[in-house]
Amino acid sequence: MAADEPASVTRALVEAVRGIRYDDIPDEAREVACHCTLDFLGSALAGSHEALTDILVSEIVRSEAAREARLIGRSERASRLTAALVNGAAGHALDFDDTHTTMAGHPSVSVLPALLALGEAERIHGRALLTALVAGIELECRLGALLGFGHYAAGFHSTGTVGTFGAAAACAHLLGLDEDAWSQALGLAGTQAAGLRCSFGTMAKPLHAGRAASAGLLAALLARRGFTAQPQILEVSQGFAATHAGAEPSIAILDQYAGRFLIRETLFKYHAACYLTHAAIEAAAQLRKQGHTDADAIGAVEVHVSPVLLGVCNIEAPTTGLEGKFSLRATTALALLGDDTSDLATYSDAKMREPRLIALRDRVRVVPTEESTPTQARVVVETQGRHAEAAADTGVPAADLALQRDKLRRKFLALATPVLGVAAANRLADAALSVHELTAVEDLLHLASTG
């Protein structure tokens, strides 16, 4: 690059993560990477026989008759690209997978399906997989910071868009591509990346994750063969930042993250709904525990949240379980009524039609509050002239990783046991939590499939 030539943001992003090696990764970041692996597999197993997954298998997998890669929780096999698509969609089908505030999306669900499909085909060992997972998540988080809130505010679903770049980067790392090929891979990722927030509450939302995984894998495979794209995809005129964020990305933003491992700040779900409903659920649960929530006596409920949430999880009158996951009114009412918001069965079409839930839901008012962050909520309950309130913030990463490991294992077993059985689910949990010790990624997928 000439001395007077402006620095390439795309190239700087590549340079920030391409050189990551296993020994460079701090112990806590490695541990969280194992948590991400466990949590994704549990979510994908639970989503492996959802209607949307069955449709994808019927329409794509069976006509392919390919045998390259396993499908999680199923007996069928598929091509690498299709396995990434189906496993990614399954992993996000129930909206129970991890999230990250810097990325403004779900970091693992686009990256891991691509890596698992590629790792199985290429006979990769677990240490390489974990390192590539870290590289992919580090890149997509930095890209989320570069794009800023304008990308999400414009209506793009970062899991589908930014996640495509993360999957491409992770696969480029696993394949050991050189710097030029990395830039081509990101160029190919950027021109394929898609996903609109208006799809929240429908099957299209998890499709975004699957398409991101498949498109990112394709980008890396094509780049390895010399397929060309725009190597400065982020910063060029009519490039990704201009069209998807409405602003030129500032390379200086990357300096804030130099030497950091943002994977450590991954957040995990313990309620089976949109993460931005979790603070309200936690606050409502506090009020119920304090004895302020006799449903018949509640006159009114206010949920004070950031205005950002109004365009994400504010479906006012959900009629399906999937819509209920994106309804602050419904999820707050569920928590006040004492329903188990961690149980997938709670988010059913029948539950959303229950008269008792509807009656309380309709007394909930969502109040936009500018001073709140997206992960904060304050719930106020008026009961027969009495006023009670509680607040919560679910945007703080766990300080105790041993406790987080235990909580995630319990969550995993609840999701995986109905699909695999108790013994097999425990074997898979052990393998996922020590993924870096596996001699072959194929071993992990063998434990996660039923064929």
Tell me: do 261 and 298 sit in the same domain: no
User: Which residues neighbour 123 within 8 Å (Cβ) at sequence distance 6 or greater?
Assistant: 440, 441, 442
pLDDT value of position 125: 97
Q: Copy the structure tokens of residue 6.
A: 């402006």
Q: Is position 45 within any domain?
A: yes
User: Which residues neighbour 297 within 8 Å (Cβ) at sequence distance 6 or greater?
Assistant: 383, 384
Q: How many domains does the chain have?
A: 2
With contact defined as beta carbons under 8 Å apart, do 283 and 116 qualify? Answer: no
pLDDT value of position 6: 53
What is the overall mean pLDDT for the chain?
95
Tell me: do 214 and 122 sit in the same domain: yes
Q: Is position 1 within any domain?
A: no
Examine the fold and report which residue of 374, 393, 412 is the final residue of a domain before the chain moves on: 393
Examine the fold and report which residue of 357, 374, 393 is the final residue of a domain before the chain moves on: 393
CA distance 51 to 60: 14
Task: Quickly list DSSP for 242-296.
Answer: HHHTSSPPPGGGGGGGTT--GGGG-B--SSSS-GGGHHHHHHHHHHHHTT---TT
pLDDT value of position 423: 98
Tell me: do 67 and 108 sit in the same domain: yes
Q: Chain centroid to CA 90: how far?
A: 12
pLDDT value of position 249: 87
Tell me: do 205 and 263 sit in the same domain: yes
CA distance 219 to 238: 20
Tell me: do 168 and 225 sit in the same domain: yes
Q: Which amino acid is at 279?
A: A
Q: How many CA atoms lie within 13 A of 244 on its CB side?
A: 29
With contact defined as beta carbons under 8 Å apart, do 89 and 112 qualify? Answer: no
With contact defined as beta carbons under 8 Å apart, do 83 and 71 qualify? Answer: yes
pLDDT value of position 5: 43
CA distance 414 to 24: 34
Q: Is residue 135 classed as helix, strand or coil in its secondary structure?
A: helix
Q: Can you give the CATH number for the domain in which 333 is found? A: 3.30.1330.120
Q: Is position 160 within any domain?
A: yes
Q: Is residue 335 classed as helix, strand or coil in its secondary structure?
A: helix
The position carrying tokens 């891991």 is 112
DSSP 97: S
CA distance 421 to 424: 6
Q: Is position 247 within any domain?
A: yes
Q: Are strands 69-70 and 77-78 parallel, antiparallel or unpaired?
A: antiparallel
Q: Is position 55 within any domain?
A: yes
Tell me: do 126 and 50 sit in the same domain: yes
pLDDT value of position 292: 63
- For residue range 427-442, what is the model confidence (pLDDT) as tens digits? 999 999 999 999 999 9
Q: Is position 128 within any domain?
A: yes
Tell me: do 196 and 329 sit in the same domain: no
Q: Which amino acid is at 235?
A: E
Helix axes 158-175, 9-17, angle to 10 degrees: 60
Tell me: do 359 and 405 sit in the same domain: no
Mean pLDDT for back-to-back runs of 10 residues, the chain (451 residues): 61 97 98 98 98 98 93 97 98 96 97 98 96 98 95 95 98 98 98 96 96 98 98 95 90 94 98 96 94 79 96 94 96 96 96 96 96 96 89 97 98 98 98 97 96 83
User: Which residues neighbour 290 within 8 Å (Cβ) at sequence distance 6 or greater?
Assistant: 388, 390
Q: Is residue 9 classed as helix, strand or coil in its secondary structure?
A: helix
Q: Can you give the CATH number for the domain in which 151 is found? A: 1.10.4100.10
Give the Cα-Cα-Cα angle 388, 325, 145 (nearest 5 degrees): 95
Tell me: do 342 and 444 sit in the same domain: no
Share in percent of the chain as helix, strand, coil (round to 5): 60, 10, 30
Could you tell me the CA-to-CA distances from 445 to 39, 67, 164, 394, 416 in Å, in that order?
Answer: 14, 13, 22, 32, 14
Tell me: do 337 and 416 sit in the same domain: no
Beta bridge partners of 389: 380
Tell me: do 344 and 411 sit in the same domain: no
Tell me: do 234 and 115 sit in the same domain: yes
**Beta-carbon neighbour count of residue 406 at 10 Å?**
11
- What domain range is 379 assigned to? 275-393
Q: Is position 3 within any domain?
A: no
Q: Are strands 364-368 and 386-393 parallel, antiparallel or unpaired?
A: unpaired
User: CA nearest 53: which of 274, 209, 260?
Assistant: 209
Q: Is residue 266 classed as helix, strand or coil in its secondary structure?
A: coil
- For residue range 385-400, what is the model confidence (pLDDT) as tens digits? 788 999 999 999 999 9
In degrees and rounded to multiples of 5, residue 160 shows phi and psi of: -80, -35
Q: Is position 4 within any domain?
A: no
